Structure 1
Amino acid sequence: MLKVYAAKWCPHCTKTIEHLKNNKIEFEYFEIEKQSENIIQKIIQVNGGDDWVVPTLEFNGEWRKGKIYNEKELNSDLEKLGLC
């Protein structure tokens, strides 16, 4: 299942989650600030090594870097993950 690492205060996270729901893509939501240090370090690594960025997505070991919400980019990334 798709994992979404996000923050409630993040507008790009909210839009990404709405997009997933509207397209009936199942996902698990994980509040970034409540994650273990191991998960935080992985998310930092995926996003270039400086800091964590949300929303970051993971599906079957494949990661999508945190990005500003863009419907076309998100759809393309979801296709690459095999979810669309």
Structure 2
Amino acid sequence: MDRECELCNPRITFHDQSQFARHLRVVHATREGGSYICHYGKNNVCQKLPLEGVSDDDYETHIRRVHCVPLQQSKLAVEDPREKEFTLTR
């Protein structure tokens, strides 16, 4: 399933979840003191993570559960039982 980055202009289309996850990490996250802060959201703030950031592993889990779900469910941020189908690479 293709996925577009909702924040980049012009829109970038990703053909698999690992490409999209890598894009989120490189473009829409910052690393401060070993913690990752997600900026993929309205006004470059993700409402689903603490502002002080999370560990690398927790950030990967966050991407999979919140942002790498099918587009129609992404705004709901619900846990998708199919999430185990995604293999994220670093």
Q: Would you say same fold, with TM above 0.5?
A: no
> Taking structure 2 as the reference length, what is the TM-score of the superposition?
0.27
Q: Which has the higher contact order (CA 8 A, sep 6+)?
A: 1
More strand by share: 1
TM-score (structure 1 length as normaliser): 0.29
